[in-house]
Amino acid sequence: MPDTSAERPRRIVARREGPLLVEGPVEIELEDGTTVTSDRFCVALCTCRRSRMYPWCDTSHRKHTPTARPASDR
């Protein structure tokens, strides 16, 4: 893949709900000094802090419903 980072700024998509979408590859330094990396074409960064695989989004920001078997229950 061509490295276009020098030609244009990296795009980050921010919405009120859901993760930040950042063009990869990325290296992220965490509070404890460790770094995690991803070379995915795009990464989803958790902003709700509920992710069980922080800093990556795991869709834990989604609304919950008590309904026993809606369409998403698979």
Which residues of this protein are in contact with other proteins, per CB under 8 A? 1, 13, 18-19, 21, 39-44, 52-53, 56-59, 62-74
Q: How far is the CB of 63 from other proteins (least distance, A)?
A: 5
Q: How far is the CB of 25 from other proteins (least distance, A)?
A: 10
| CA–CA distances in Å: residue 6 to residues 3, 10, 17, 52 | 7, 9, 30, 34
Q: How far is the CB of 21 from other proteins (least distance, A)?
A: 6
Residue 43: is it exposed, middle or buried by C-beta count within 10 angstroms (0-12/13-18/19+)?
buried
